[in-house]
């Protein structure tokens, strides 16, 4: 990546034609002492992993399938912050580069016109309640055609190319993402979650909507300091909901 201007993120870079999952490779590298900033990238994944045990469709050559290793040394309870900050970095980078108006669906899906364009999966390692390392797995559907998506994703998923009407250079996107990510990550380590929370809320499509999540139903009204979604129930109480899946319900 000739033009990469980051201090740490994206160095070193491990590029593979094919992997089972970049997350698995990240775990292998972590066991060998991989340093913060290491990036694992695969042209194709044969067993890409999504959240909640789902699989992630990762055909060759048309997406960015990657895992970024971070070693933030923060309390385990702060792990949701990293998910939300990754979503902010990705959303801002897509908007800057393509003018596509991507939005964040809680906690960390990126949507364009209601369809998913990117997913984020964090896997963490702990020691004595501290988060010693994180493999931040990021999948971006960059230049997939409609026919590249399997039948069950046809009306749920899209790509930057389909949404913006032209192909996106994957290397340019990767460099822009890493620079944006480093900016938010360094800001987070310096100033905490507050600035990220504000930007996340501004980019979110989940707020001021009725949601059914974690066994409750109500209006999503914001994030709390821990990164939980605040849901106002019909009886007026507001409860924090930690990351699971969010399904929108009809009022
Ligand atoms: C989700 O929305 O369910 C999260 C999807 C995360 C997919 C990425 S692709 C690169 C990395 N390696 C994986 O196996 N999964 C993540």
What CATH number was assigned to the domain covering residues 13-203? 3.30.930.10
Is the separation of the CB atoms in 246 and 213 below 8 Å? yes
Domain locations along the chain:
13-203, 210-248
This prediction has a pTM of 0.94
- At 122-144, the pLDDT tens digits run 999 888 889 999 999 999 999 99
Is the separation of the CB atoms in 235 and 250 below 8 Å? no
pLDDT grade for 251, boundaries at 50, 70 and 90: very low
Nearest-5° angle of CA 244, CA 247, CA 251?
Answer: 135
Say what the pLDDT of residue 59 is.
Answer: 96
Ligand 1: distance of its center to the CA of 107 in Å?
14
Location of structure tokens 């959303």: 91
Helix, strand, coil percentages, rounded to 5, for the chain: 30, 35, 35
248/16: higher pLDDT: 16
The best mutation among 25, 56, 118 to test binding of ligand 1, ranked by most ligand atoms within 8 Å of the C-beta, falls on 56
ipTM greater than cut 0.95 = yes
Ligand 1: distance of its center to the CA of 128 in Å?
27
Q: How many CB atoms lie within 10 A of CB 148?
A: 17
Q: With 60 as the cut, is the pLDDT of residue 149 above it?
A: yes
- At 82-132, the pLDDT tens digits run 999 999 999 999 999 998 999 999 888 999 999 999 999 999 988 888 999
- At 205-236, the pLDDT tens digits run 989 999 988 789 999 999 999 999 999 999 99
Whole-number Å distance between alpha carbons of 27 and 83: 18
Indicate whether residue 66 lines ligand 1 (CB < 6 A): yes
What CATH number was assigned to the domain covering residues 210-248? 2.30.30
Query: Are 13-203 and 210-248 the same fold in CATH?
Result: no
3-state secondary structure of 214: coil
């Amino acid at each position: 990546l000739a033009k990469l201007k980051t201090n740490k993120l994206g160095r070193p870079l491990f590029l593979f034609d094919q992997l089972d999952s970049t997350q698995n490779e990240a775990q292998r590298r972590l066991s060998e002492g991989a340093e913060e900033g290491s990036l694992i990238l695969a042209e194709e994944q044969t067993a890409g992993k999504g959240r909640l045990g789902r699989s992630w469709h990762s055909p060759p050559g048309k997406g960015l399938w990657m895992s970024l290793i971070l070693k933030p040394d923060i309390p385990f309870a702060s792990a949701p912050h990293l998910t939300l900050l990754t979503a902010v970095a990705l959303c801002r980078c897509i908007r800057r580069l393509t003018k596509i108006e991507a939005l964040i669906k809680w906690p960390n899906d990126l949507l364009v016109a209601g369809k998913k364009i990117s997913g984020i999966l964090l896997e963490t390692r702990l020691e004595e309640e501290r988060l010693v390392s994180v493999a931040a797995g990021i999948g971006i559907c960059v230049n997939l055609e409609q026919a590249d998506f399997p039948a069950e994703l046809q009306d749920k998923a899209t790509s930057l190319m389909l949404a913006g009407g032209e192909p996106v250079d994957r290397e340019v996107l990767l460099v822009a993402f890493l620079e944006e990510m480093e900016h938010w990550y360094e800001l987070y380590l310096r100033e905490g979650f507050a600035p990220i929370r504000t930007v996340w809320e501004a980019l979110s499509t989940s707020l001021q909507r009725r949601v059914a999540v974690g066994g409750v139903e109500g209006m999503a009204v914001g994030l709390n300091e821990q990164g939980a979604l605040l849901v106002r129930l019909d009886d007026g109480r507001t409860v924090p909901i930690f990351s699971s899946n969010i399904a929108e319900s009809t009022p």
